[in-house]
Amino acid sequence: QKEVEQDPGPLSVPEGAIVSLNCTYSNSAFQYFMWYRQYSRKGPELLMYTYSSGNKEDGRFTAQVDKSSKYISLFIRDSQPSDSATYLCAMRGNYQLIWGAGTKLIIKP
Amino acid sequence: DAGVIQSPRHEVTEMGQEVTLRCKPISGHDYLFWYRQTMMRGLELLIYFNNNVPIDDSGMPEDRFSAKMPNASFSTLKIQPSEPRDSAVYFCASSREGGNIQYFGAGTRLSVL
Q: How many helices (H) and strands (E) does chain A have?
A: 0, 11
Per residue in A61-86, pLDDT (tens digit) is 999 999 999 999 999 999 999 999 99
Q: Do A101 and B45 touch (CB under 8 A)?
A: no
Closest Cα in chain B to A43:
B106
Whether B1 shows a pLDDT value over 70: the answer reads no
CA distance A97 to A87: 15
Q: A11-20, A75-84, A93-102: lowest mean pLDDT where?
A: A93-102
**Quick one: closest CA in A to B102, which residue?**
A46
Note the pLDDT of residue A1: 73
8 Å CB contact between B98 and B31? yes
pLDDT digits (tens, 9 = 90+) for B48-85: 999 999 999 999 988 999 999 999 999 999 999 999 99
Task: Determine the pLDDT at residue B61.
Answer: 87
**Averaged pLDDT score across all residues of chain A:** 94
Phi/psi at B100 (5° precision): -70, -45
Whether the CA torsion B108, B6, B49, A97 is positive or negative: it is negative
Q: Residue A96: pLDDT band by 50, 70, 90 thresholds?
A: confident
Output the DSSP codes for B9-20.
SEEEE-TT--EE
pLDDT in tens, B11-44: 999 999 999 999 999 999 999 999 999 988 899 9
Instruction: Find chain B residues with C-beta within 8 A of A97's C-beta.
Output: 45, 99-100, 102
